[in-house]
Structures are given as C-alpha cells and as structure tokens.
Amino acid sequence: MSDARAVPMVDLKAQYQRIQADVDAALARILETTQFIKGEDCGLFEQEFAAFCGVSRACGVANGTDALTLALKAYGIGPGNEVVTVANTFIATGEAILLNGARPVFVDVDEQTFTMDATRVEKALTARTRLILPVHLYGHPADMGAIGDIAQRHGLPVLEDAAQAHGAELQGRRTGGLGHAACFSFYPGKNLGAFGDAGAVASNDGAFIARVRQVANHGGGANKYDNVVPGTNSRLDTIQAAVLRVKLRHLDRWNQERRERAAAYTAALGGVPNVTLPKEREGARSAWHLYTVRVPDRDGLQAHLKARGIATAVHYPRPIHLQPAMAAAGGRPGDLPVSERLSREVLCLPLYPELPLADVERIAAEVRAFCGAGAARA
C-alpha cells in the first residue's frame, strides 16, 4: 500500500473553499428570508441557466431523473410508445421512459465518443416511435447534427440527456439548445452541482416548459388548489437555486480548468500501449465531466491505482439494456456489442478543476507503469 497522498475522484471541499464567501452569503440570505420553496432565487436561476444554455426558458425540478421523467410526460409519452435511446448511460435514462409506461429501444454507441451511433438510429424507428433521446456522455455532446436530420425526416422531437454536459458545445452551440429540449442534473459531483439533488429542463419552446412546470407542481392551474392534470411534486428548492446561481458564474472557468487537465492527461498518456484515450468529435467541445480511458485489463489497472491511493470509477459496469430493471425492454447479451465491450474496459480517472497538475502527472505515470510503458516514457 502506498503512503502517497490520496487523490479523490472529485474534491467538493476544494471547490467550496474557492467560493465559500459567496456561497455562505447566499445561504445566509435564504435563511434570513425563510423562502425555502419558490423563493426569488428559483426564478432567477432558471433565467440565468437558460441564458447560459442559449435558450429562452428553463424549469427547475427536484433532480435529473425527474427532469427526464417530467419532460417525457410533457411530450405525452405513454403506454404503446417507444423512445430510441442508448444503453451506455446511467439507469435514469431508461428508467424515465419506463416510468411513463413507454418502451426504451436501445441502439449502440460510437467507438470514439461513446455516444449514440447516429447510423443506427433510423433502423430502430417504428410506427410506435415518439421521440429520440441521445445522451451527452462524460461531457461530450452526441452527434446532434445527424440525429437531428433523422428526427426531422420522421417528424420526431429530440430530447437531450445533458446530465453530464453543462456547457459542452457542438458547432458553437451549447447543450440545452441542440435539440427540442434538454434535461440536466445538478447532482453535487456534476460540473454544475448543487448542495443536494436538483435538476432542470431547458428549451426554446415556452409552451413545452409550461407543461413541464405544470406537471412538476401537482398539475397546477391558476392557483394552488386548481389542479387540472395529473402531476407530482418536483420543485427546485430555493437553497439549491441560490447555490447554483453562485456556481454558475464560475462554470465557464471551471470547465476550462477541466479541459486543461484533460489535455494534460492526453499528453502524458499518448502512445501508451493498450490505453485508448477519449477524443472529441470534430466541431465538438466537451465539458470534460469525466476523463475516461479504455484498458483491456480495466480491473487490474483500477486495483493498481487504488493500492497507490488514487481513486477511480467505472461509468458504467453494466449497460442498462442488461439491467434487471430494464427487462421489459427485452435486451439480451450481444445486442449492443460496443456498449457491452465498453462496460468491461472503461475507467474514469480523477478529474476536477482543482486537481493539481502534478497529480495528473502522477496518475499518468502509474497508468504507464501498469501498462508496461513506464520505462519507455521515463
């Protein structure tokens, strides 16, 4: 066991220390006003986040899973409908579809970016398809140009799962404005993270956002006790909105710092045998939520790094078409060979804005050593 300083996957304390004065002032203001639900900061954050995404509207909700579930409900997705999506993602993507009574139809992903393979989408469409749901995985935007062209030919909306891609860009446009609407998670470890659970739906379609907001607030109408459609309780609380407003002002800089650390990893690991590095699609600018390498002996490398005090993570160890919770979708081993291969090979290395560049070099050196390239690169 190494006695070197431990390196976490993410260091939220280091982030808090950078913005402590502003965060503490925001929290004190909310505590003083006691407007814990529907306080002024909620509406202000929605406006500011929509502007950040380059769209006109956003609706804050309780978490990223609710963002997906409520957006699908606002589209009218229900029993008998199909939604085309990917299995190389967190369970929430498929879960939201099932929770609306619809069936997820999974397509495989691209080997280079790990996002939806647009060449497979059209073959997956049927008369029951109501929507296409690509995932911007690890901070990298999906191939929205090609996916959007297919959707337009078939008269289908495209909903972005942008839970990991706050501030990512494609052809100069940010996630949130690449499809008809987009869903975001503000889980604490995200590029833009709350101090608990929080999420949002963003779009240029004001009527659509109004439907999301209505369903998120008990199907409400003109007043609190005027409930016109079946809904639920999924509100962004004021404390989380206040924290997010503070953090949003720093997000561009934090994403740039993530980018610098990703570049340092790439420079240090280029040419290492048996290590496949992440790449950006032409015209794309990743938000670098995660720096994910592919290694044939993934479990061995993970154990090697752990023994040296270096945390890692696997996103994701089982593609969701093979999860028991997704059995209704009828997925079987071998259906999605790329996604299934990735689940055995991917490993996420520590990446956050405050990660010292010296730690990046140390982590890269350990990866090189495990992969037999330490001597060659010394």
pLDDT digits 0-9 by tens, 79-138: 999 999 999 999 999 999 999 999 999 999 999 999 999 999 999 999 999 999 999 999
Question: What's the pLDDT band for 226 if we cut at 50, 70, 90?
Answer: confident
In contact, 129 and 84? CB cutoff 8 Å: yes
Is residue 316 reached through a cis peptide bond, with omega within 30 degrees of 0 on the bond before it?
A: yes
Strand bridging mode 291-294 / 82-86: unpaired
Mean pLDDT (whole number) for 366-377: 73
- pLDDT at position 2, please? 54
Structural domain boundaries of the chain?
Answer: 13-107+114-248, 251-377
User: Span 326-331, mean pLDDT?
Assistant: 94
13-107+114-248 has which fold? Aspartate Aminotransferase; domain 2 (3.40.640)
Q: What tokens appear for 366 in the block?
A: 């350990």
Indicate whether 212 pLDDT > 60.
yes
Specify whether the CB–CB gap between 209 and 188 falls below 8 A: no
pTM of the model: 0.96
Position 32 pLDDT exceeds 50: yes
pLDDT at position 377 over 90: no
pLDDT at 62 over 50: yes
Give the mean pLDDT of 369-376. 68
DSSP letter for each residue of 295-330: -TTHHHHHHHHHHTTB--B-S-SS-GGGSGGGGGGT
pLDDT of residue 374: 45
pLDDT at 4 over 90: no
**DSSP 8-state assignment for residue 103:** E
Please check whether the two domains, 13-107+114-248 and 251-377, share a CATH topology.
no
Closest to 139 (Cα-Cα) out of 352, 288, 254: 288
Chain position carrying tokens 């720096």: 291
Average pLDDT on 55-68 reads 98
pLDDT reported for residue 220: 86
Are 159 and 133 in contact by the 8 Å Cβ rule? The answer is yes
Q: What is the architecture, at CATH level 2, of domain 251-377?
A: Alpha-Beta Complex (3.90)
pLDDT mean over 29-50: 97
Residue 375 has pLDDT above 50, yes or no: no
Contact assessment for residue 245 and residue 48, using Cβ atoms and an 8 Å cutoff: yes
- pLDDT band of 373, cuts 50, 70, 90: low
Q: How confident is the model at residue 372 (pLDDT cuts 50, 70, 90)?
A: confident
